[in-house]
């Protein structure tokens, strides 16, 4: 299995699911293959460019902050009961 280049964009992935936006829709907008979008979202491919982030924000309503939020290291995750 490939190693991740970075943490996945979990908030963006959740936003897409909640708003019934498919990877194919994002791919058409960004003129990429759905597989490339999947790799970017899951941390296996390259990162989104600022232009791509802007397009996803303007056209799909993805909050721009979701592209820039730092991820919390696993050792700092706390179990919430």
Whether 77 shows a pLDDT value over 60: the answer reads no
Whether 81 shows a pLDDT value over 50: the answer reads no
Confidence label for 75 from pLDDT (cuts 50, 70 and 90): low
CA distance 53 to 24: 16
Question: Which residues have CB under 8 Å from 61's CB, separation 6+?
Answer: 15, 19
CATH pick for 10-69 out of 1.10.260.40, 3.40.50.200, 3.40.50.300, 3.40.980.10: 1.10.260.40
CA distance 75 to 13: 23
16-67 pLDDT per residue, tens: 999 999 999 999 999 999 999 999 999 998 899 999 999 999 999 999 999 9
Whether 74 shows a pLDDT value over 70: the answer reads no
Whether 68 shows a pLDDT value over 90: the answer reads no
Contact 40, 46 (CB under 8 A): yes
């Amino acid at each position: 299995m490939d190693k991740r280049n970075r943490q996945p964009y979990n908030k963006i992935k959740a936003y897409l699911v909640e708003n019934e936006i498919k990877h194919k829709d994002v791919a058409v907008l960004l003129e990429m293959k759905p597989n490339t979008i999947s790799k970017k979202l899951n941390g296996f491919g390259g990162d989104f460019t600022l232009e791509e982030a802007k397009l996803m924000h303007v056209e799909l309503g993805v909050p721009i902050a979701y592209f820039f939020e730092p991820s919390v290291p696993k050792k700092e995750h706390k179990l919430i009961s």
